[in-house]
Chain A
């Protein structure tokens, strides 16, 4: 067998180590820079429908960068108008809706997902992989298909599956308005994002040393105390990971609110869609997107700082 020289191995490691950075640069940093530059441009009825802040260069060659902060000014104006009652604040309302929806989704996924993951982690070892497969099984069908299935289930007319059952059992006399409201959106979001909460929680809980729970019990802790003082704090990292994995995509979620909310729920995803599409206001859409990314980075940093404290367990 040929022994690879250390330098060759070092080279391999270098290139493999470069890959994630190259990926991030290509698919996050560059596109994000593009979005930032669009957000600082002036809207115009053209193709593309904006004038880049760098466009000045070609004309006079003197000043290279002429940003147009009008879009951010509009967002700032809405913030400034917070004190004024009755003022129209469509973007702020969309942000608030999205954050609230994402927060509710995360909370519900956590409350539902924790016992889920706990049971998975405590299941006999031979059964665990099968159970994990079942958690991931929904991924095997198209996401859109599953959302449409929920539309069929929740349909507000007599044809809706749930309404059929309720009417058939005589529990209601008229079909309930189940679809096209915030409740329907929330149900769809929780359903879709639950596996993203369960998997990191499971990965964390399965590593939990059961002797620690026995030791706590032996030291006089009642079952609830054992859970609150040992299991919960030691699974903090799993909770953080699962929550971020649900919260972040949930904030920008567009399809579920659109299909199950039927436009009744204004979200940030919806307003970006409107500005990029029908309104042809790309700079505004880009500015809204930039502000959203910045807003999302804040909770990540916050949670990580928290995680570092409780994470001294490893």
Chain B
């Protein structure tokens, strides 16, 4: 609808107090910056997802928060306390590793107790046992207390790893690709279980993932990372509806991107047969003649049957329309994904709900259609 770029690249915390503040954080390995100039505020009890493809620096960022990597620049403040001087083993953070990193020579109970045994002054033996039992109860693994980690399934190992990282009551729980090691089948259910548990415990949580669905399901807010830098921070809805750049737009959900030049309130020179009408955001007016992209979500594209040779002109002002041909259809039950071919050869995807066709037969592969969308549905992106 517009490009007001909700949230921007610094994540402001709405309402709740700032729990973790990250300022201009950077990490250099040799000549390359794995993380550059990251600024982020995370609120108390928030579940925050760092989302990005592999090698974008998200894990490095998480490891810096845990104290497993030393930042090359910038600083991190947890409740106002600078973490730089705090070594990993004294940080009030606990991490769940992607591989779970359960100690193979300790039982499930031994794994959960390990962190408790490090607490000084020492906890009493009975207190440790009670806490271990409580944690295993929380993740429903109490019956497995005396088992060895390698006897457990992936999902069970994940729960033990979670119990182990929660046992010390961390002020910040860090999850590195928490579900990546699981089968796709159990991953979805586990997403809800995991986030439900985190909310019940009430711990602030930062999770790292490359899976946008996982991020959108679990997190209150998402930070999108690309090439070590934070691209956009916002709630899943904000990012989906108001992406501030091409990267966000295509990373969260699917989108059609048209590349062109701005002329007035039209995007010209794109692969769409006509100049594309758009509605500029509330911010500064887009630079005339400048390069820009238009992002159009598949569910915003309207598909109609048309007779061959029918000219497709906008029916009302502010509408974009063009003829197209159905290239492929993916039938998904409640909706279908149409892969459409525009006159220039450029393809476009549209998500059409089954109810859209009513009594009429939906267009088949190879049939001519008309695509259209009202100008406000497209999002103009300048980078």
Report the minimal beta-carbon distance from B100 to chain A, rounded to whole angstroms.
9
Q: Are A234 and B89 in contact (CB under 8 A)?
A: no
* A25 within 8 Å of B (CB atoms): no
CA distance A73 to B57 in the complex (A): 75
Assess A219 versus B114: contact at CB under 8 Å? Given A209-B99, A212-B101, A214-B101. Answer: yes
**Distance in angstroms between the alpha carbons of A314 and B89 in the assembled complex:** 27
B103: Cβ under 8 A from any A Cβ:
yes
Contact string against B for A residues 66-110, beta-carbon threshold 8 Å, 1 for contact and 0 otherwise:
000000000000000000000000000000000000000000000
B225 CB to nearest chain A CB (Å): 21
Kindly name the residue among B90, B101, B168 whose own CB sees the greatest number of chain A CB atoms within 10 A: B101
* Interchain nearest-CB distance for A213 vs B (Å): 9
Contact in complex: A218, B88 (CB < 8 Å): yes
Chain A residues near B68 (CB, 8 Å)?
A: 214, 217-218
**B148 within 8 Å of A (CB atoms):** yes
10 pairs, CB–CB < 8 Å, chain A vs chain B: A211-B101, A212-B104, A218-B67, A218-B68, A218-B89, A221-B89, A221-B118, A225-B118, A313-B105, A314-B104
Name the residue among A209, A211, A218 with the largest chain B CB count within 10 angstroms: A218
**Which 8 pairs of residues, A with B, have the shortest CB-CB distance?**
A220-B118, A219-B115, A215-B101, A313-B104, A211-B101, A217-B88, A218-B95, A220-B89
Contact pick for B89, options A212, A217, A233, CB 8 Å: A217
Q: How many residues on chain A are close to B (CB under 8 Å)?
A: 21
Residues 225-258 of A contacting B (Cβ, < 8 Å):
225, 229-230, 233-234
Query: B372 an interface residue at 8 Å Cβ cutoff?
Result: no
- Any B CB within 8 A of the CB of A173: no
Q: Determine whether B19 belongs to the interface, using a CB cutoff of 8 Å to chain A.
A: no
A216 at the interface (CB under 8 A from B): yes
**Additional A-B contact list (10), CB under 8 Å, known A215-B95, A218-B89:** A215-B97, A218-B88, A219-B89, A219-B165, A220-B90, A220-B115, A221-B89, A222-B89, A230-B103, A234-B105
Chain B residue numbers with a CB within 8 Å of A314 are 104
Query: A278-314: which residues lie under 8 A (CB-CB) from chain B?
Result: 310, 312-314
CB of B94 within 8 Å of the partner chain: yes
A312 proximity list for chain B (CB < 8 A): 104-105, 148, 150
Considering the chains assembled together, what is the distance between the CA atoms of A222 and B88 in angstroms? 9
CB of A234 within 8 A of CB of B101, answer: no
A233–B150 CA distance with the chains assembled, in angstroms: 16
For window 95-124 of chain B, which residues contact chain A by CB distance below 8 Å?
A: 95, 97, 99, 101, 103-105, 114-115, 118-119
C-alpha spacing A230/B101, complex, angstroms: 11
Q: Is B164 close to A, CB under 8 A?
A: yes
- Of the candidates B93, B99, B103, the one whose C-beta lies within 8 Å of that of A216 is B103
Q: Is B326 an interface residue (CB 8 A)?
A: no
Q: Which residue of B lies closest to A312 (CB)?
A: B148
For A220, A221, A222, the residue with the greatest tally of chain B CB atoms inside 10 Å of its CB is A220
A122 CB to closest chain B CB (Å) equals 16
